[in-house]
Amino acid sequence: MNTEQEIKEMVRQKYSEIALQDKETNASSCCGAGGCSTEVYNIMSEEYNNLEGYNPDADLGLGCGLPTQFAKIKKGDTVIDLGSGAGNDCFVARAETGETGKVIGIDFTEAMIDKARSNAEKLGFNNVEFRQGDIEKMPVTANVADVIVSNCVLNLVPNKQAVFAEMYRVLKPGGHFSISDIVLTGELPEKIKSAAEMYAGCVASAIDKDEYLNYVSKVGFANMQIQKEKAIIVPDDILKNYLNDEEIAQYKLNETVIRSITVYAEKPARCCSPSSGCC
C-alpha cells in the first residue's frame, strides 16, 4: 500500500507529464492518465464548447463534468478552482464573475501552474491568478470565497475529508461549492485499485459514493444535492491492461460501479460551534 506522500508524488509526476500532452492524447485515455486507449473518445469529460469563457488552449480533457455550469456564480464573486490545471474552469468562471470578480486557481503541479499562467497572460486577464499548493492545506485565507468549483480532482487526494474541511474554512458564510468527481457504487477489482496508472486516471482512487457524501455533511455543509450523475464506462482496451478476459467479463456482469457526480452544498450563513448550543 502506498503512503499518502507516495501517492501525491505519483500524481505530481503524472500530471506534470499530462501538462505537456495535447488534448487528443488525454481524451483517448483515462482522465489523461496516458495514451492507453485506441477508442478515441473521452471516458470522463464533457464538452465545454458552448460555455462562455471556454478557451481550447486551457482544455486538457481531464474533467469528469461541468461544475461551472451548475455553480451559480454571480457577477463580482470570488471563485476558487481546486486542481485548476491549465486554467479551463477558471476562465469559464471568470466569464461568470466578470471583471469585478476574482478567480483563484490552485494546483499541485508546477508545470500546470506555468501553463495556466501563460494562458491567462495571453488572454490579458488580470483578475485570474494561479497558486501552487496542496488543496489539503490551501494557500488561501479563511472566509474569502463565494464559490468553489473543482473538476475530477478530489478523487486524486488521499485525505478527502481534509479537503472538504479546507473548503469549509475558505468559503464565506453563505458561500457554496459545486464539484464534479468520480465515486463508486460497488467494489472495483483489486487489480484496478492497486494500479498506479488507474490511480492517476481518477478511477482507482475513487471511494464509495455514500462515504464521499458523508464527508461533505461531516464538516458542516448544508443543503447538499447531486446536480448531475452519470455512469463511466471504461473501454475494454484499457481494462485489458489490468484484467484478463474472464475478469473483464465478471466485472461487466455487475451494474456500472464507476460514476461521475456533480455535488452542490452550502456553508451555513451563520456559523457557530456545536458547543455554544446554537447549532
pLDDT along the chain (279 residues), means of 10: 62 59 50 44 61 80 85 98 94 96 95 93 95 95 97 86 96 97 84 60 75 96 96 80 86 81 94 45
DSSP class per residue in the chain: ---HHHHHHHHHHHHHHHTTS-HHHHHTSSTTS-S--SS-S-SS----TTSTT--GGG--S--SS-HHHHS---TT-EEEEES-TTSHHHHHHHHHH-TTSEEEEEES-HHHHHHHHHHHHHHT-SSEEEEE-BTTB-SS-TT-EEEEEEES-GGG-S-HHHHHHHHHHHEEEEEEEEEEEEEESSPPPHHHHT-HHHHHTTSTT-EEHHHHHHHHHHTT-EEEEEEEEEE-PPPHHHHTTT--HHHHHHHHHSPP-EEEEEEEEE--SS---GGGT--
Domain assignment of residue 195, yes or no: yes
Q: The CATH number of the domain where 146 resides is what?
A: 3.40.50.150
Task: Say what the pLDDT of residue 151 is.
Answer: 92
- Look up the pTM and report it: 0.83
Q: Is residue 276 part of a domain?
A: no
What integer pLDDT is reported at residue 201 of this predicted model?
Answer: 53
Q: What is the pLDDT of residue 17?
A: 60
Whether 81 is covered by a domain: the verdict is yes
Q: Provide the pLDDT for residue 72.
A: 97
- Structurally, how many domains does the chain consist of? 1
Q: Is residue 279 part of a domain?
A: no
Residue 275 belongs to a domain: no
pLDDT of 75 reads 98
Judge whether 278 lies within some domain.
no
- Write down the pLDDT at residue 141: 97
Query: What is the extent of the structural domain holding 61?
Result: 4-267
Residue 210 in any domain: the answer is yes
